[in-house]
């Protein structure tokens, strides 16, 4: 279980003590890691299809994968390479940007609630309600009391979500400033990557310690038993993709989704087909 290696212990958080280049719980290197991800495909697909089937036949369970991390930490890469392994029909991906005017007129959880996965589905949040205690804190988009209130509001919200049958898997993609620099320079180097670059990314980078602190507080305050955090070393892309794949597999496997029983008489339906008059 990769979770044993990545699950954040309860208590105060020091991100500098988490090695961004480590590969906890996996012995191999890059090629073995990529192969292990490919090998996950059928298991993940099978589990996802069972969950989907369950949702189609009255089940209420779902999965929510929350991806947080600094720019270039690879949230998009995880969606493409890991989430992309399963049937896209069963997945809902929401990329949260700066809130719109309408969204700002509501509580910060309003737009989040609307994006929750429906039964049988895997919801993926590329950024999430955590931005409201991360950039909101670093950039003073809300005052200190409001930020303080939000940690509790998030815990209550997530408790409700879990109680409704949705398993929450929270992952912080932990990238180093050096790896980020390299990736930002690559985006500048390659014309096919220019569209991914925003000068604002460098502005945020320049307050890295403030973000680290905001992450540390947010992780500590919202690292609950029902929705714990995982810190995923993200300097090695292959490990990051594999680790999330394994966490997702373990989450689904733990749910033990089973094929729903037929709600019709199989023999009767078979007879309708085998005894039918020619149809065309």
In the bound state with a second copy, the residue whose beta carbon lies nearer, of 70 and 136, is 70
Name 233's Cβ contacts closer than 8 Å, sequence gap at least 6.
Answer: 18, 19, 20, 21, 22, 23, 24, 174, 239, 240, 243
Name 180's Cβ contacts closer than 8 Å, sequence gap at least 6.
Answer: 70, 71, 72, 73, 205
In the bound state with a second copy, the residue whose beta carbon lies nearer, of 7 and 187, is 187
Pairing of strands 62-69, 166-174: parallel
The contact pattern for a second copy, residues 115-144, with x = CB under 8 A and - = no contact, is -----------x------------------
In the bound state with a second copy, the residue whose beta carbon lies nearer, of 34 and 196, is 196
Buried residues in 95-109 as b, exposed as e (16+ CB within 10 A):
ebeebeeebeeeebb
Nearest-CA neighbor of 8 among 251, 254, 235, 218?
Answer: 218
Q: Is 266 in the site for a second copy (CB under 8 A)?
A: yes
Other C-beta atoms within 10 Å of 164: how many? 12
Nearest-CA neighbor of 131 among 98, 155, 106?
Answer: 98
Q: Is 22 in the site for a second copy (CB under 8 A)?
A: no
- Which stretch in 138-146, 148-156, 157-165, 258-266 sits in contact with a second copy by CB under 8 A? 258-266
The contact pattern for a second copy, residues 211-240, with x = CB under 8 A and - = no contact, is -x----------------------------
Dihedrals phi, psi of 168, to nearest 5 degrees: -105, 125
CA-to-CA distance for 231 and 6, rounded, in angstroms? 6
Q: Minimum CB separation from a second copy for residue 17, in Å?
A: 14
- Longest distance between any two alpha carbons in the chain, whole Å: 74
Nearest-CA neighbor of 122 among 53, 63, 42?
Answer: 63
Q: Which of residues 69-108 bind a second copy (CB under 8 A)?
A: 76, 79-80, 83-84, 87-89, 91, 93, 95
Can you tell me which of 96, 208, 220, 224 binds a second copy, judged by CB under 8 A?
Answer: 208
The answer to whether the CB of 65 falls within 8 A of the CB of 83 is yes
In the bound state with a second copy, the residue whose beta carbon lies nearer, of 109 and 115, is 115
In the bound state with a second copy, the residue whose beta carbon lies nearer, of 9 and 191, is 191
Pairing of strands 62-69, 122-126: parallel
- How many positions of this chain bind a second copy (CB under 8 A)? 49
In the bound state with a second copy, the residue whose beta carbon lies nearer, of 184 and 234, is 184
Q: Minimum CB separation from a second copy for residue 161, in Å?
A: 22
Helix (H, G, I), strand (E, B) or coil at 229: strand
Q: Is 262 in the site for a second copy (CB under 8 A)?
A: yes
Q: Which of residues 168-207 bind a second copy (CB under 8 A)?
A: 176-177, 181, 184-185, 188, 191-192, 194-199, 202, 205-206
Q: Which positions lie near a second copy, rule CB under 8 A?
A: 53, 56-57, 76, 79-80, 83-84, 87-89, 91, 93, 95, 126, 176-177, 181, 184-185, 188, 191-192, 194-199, 202, 205-206, 208-209, 212, 259-262, 264, 266, 269-270, 272-274, 276, 279-280
């Amino acid at each position: 279980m990769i979770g044993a290696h990545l699950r954040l212990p309860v208590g105060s958080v020091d991100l500098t003590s988490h090695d961004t280049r480590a590969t906890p719980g996996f012995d191999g290197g890059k090629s073995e890691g990529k192969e292990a991800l490919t090998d996950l495909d059928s298991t993940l697909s099978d589990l996802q299809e069972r969950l989907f089937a369950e949702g189609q036949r009255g089940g209420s369970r779902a999965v929510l994968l929350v991806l947080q991390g600094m720019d270039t930490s690879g949230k998009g890469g995880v969606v493409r390479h890991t989430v992309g392994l399963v049937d896209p029909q069963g997945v809902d991906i929401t990329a949260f940007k700066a809130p719109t005017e309408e969204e700002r007129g509501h509580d910060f959880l309003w737009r989040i609630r609307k994006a929750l996965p429906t039964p049988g589905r895997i919801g993926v949040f590329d950024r999430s309600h955590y931005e409201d205690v991360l950039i909101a804190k670093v950039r003073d988009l809300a005052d200190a009391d409001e930020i303080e209130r939000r940690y509790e509001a998030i815990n209550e919200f997530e408790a409700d979500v879990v109680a409704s049958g949705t398993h929450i898997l929270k992952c912080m993609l932990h990238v180093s400033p050096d790896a980020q620099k390299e990736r930002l320079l690559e985006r500048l180097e390659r014309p096919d990557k220019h569209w991914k670059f925003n000068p604002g990314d460098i502005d945020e980078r320049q307050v890295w310690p403030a973000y680290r602190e905001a992450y540390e507080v947010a992780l500590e305050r919202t690292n609950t038993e029902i929705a714990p955090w995982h810190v995923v070393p993200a300097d090695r892309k292959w490990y990051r993709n594999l680790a999330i794949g394994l966490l997702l597999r373990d989450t689904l496997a733990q749910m033990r989704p089973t094929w729903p029983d037929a709600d019709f008489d199989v023999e009767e339906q078979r007879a309708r087909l085998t005894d039918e008059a020619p149809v065309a």
